[in-house]
Amino acid sequence: MDADGWDKHYSSTELVWGAPPNDTVVEQVFGLERRLPLTGFGIGEPRPELPRALDLGCGEGRNALWLATHGWQVDAVDYAQAGIDKGRTVASRLSRSVRGRISWHFADVTDLLAAGLTGPYELILLAFVHLPAADRRALLLSAAGMLSPGGTLLVLGNDTSNLTEGYGGEQDPALTFTPNDIVDDLAPTGDDLRIRVADRVHRPTEERDAIDALVVATKPIPEEEAPALEGPAPTGS
């Protein structure tokens, strides 16, 4: 579906995906320790006060909004203006401190440089971003290069087996993927990225379980660097 198609889709109902964040995203992110970046900023440039997240294909912002309420500074990116607008509307109902943690970007996730998004980020999220294999691979490698030391890359989407064994979701086989597909896409990063989770996840729906592919990878902290500042992610309203 192109940007115009998604605009129509998001305009057709109040919230297409609902307000709560994806359960798998919450499960994987909630336990992350706060890791402030040790490198990647210019001389004299201060570290951000909050850990930074990049939500690619944010849609109506349900995951971005949840991240912001749990202490993340979020860049939320989507090429559907209707989705971005609805995310801003939901954010307007939240406290000023939470609203201030989200920057909305109407942009193509496959051209992040044009959007001025270069990182580093402590978390990069691709939730249900379904692209042709070559574009997906290029985006994943670009995202991996934007992680700060200790940062996490979380990829979640409709597994290929969902077409025959699951329910709903992306119906074009060329746009679905398996955990192994994502691991193979990330293979060129070598030791710069460590795969922590590569599995299928069953997600309840109104009919039967949908089947999602989940990969979680982390960028190692170089041994010569001092330990990252760790602690629970701050919360606030």
What does the pLDDT look like over 15-40, one tens digit per residue?
444 468 999 999 999 877 555 444 44
Sort strands 102-106 and 73-78 into parallel, antiparallel or unpaired. Answer: parallel
Residue 50 pLDDT level (bands cut at 50, 70, 90): confident
Q: Is the pLDDT of residue 231 over 70?
A: no
CA–CA gap between residue 111 and residue 117 (Å, rounded): 9
Whether a cis peptide bond, with omega within 30° of 0, leads into 46 is no
What does the pLDDT look like over 103-113, one tens digit per residue?
999 999 999 88
Burial category of 2 from C-beta neighbours within 10 Å (exposed 0-12, middle 13-18, buried 19 and up): exposed
From first CA to last CA, the distance across the chain in angstroms is 35
Residue 115 pLDDT level (bands cut at 50, 70, 90): confident
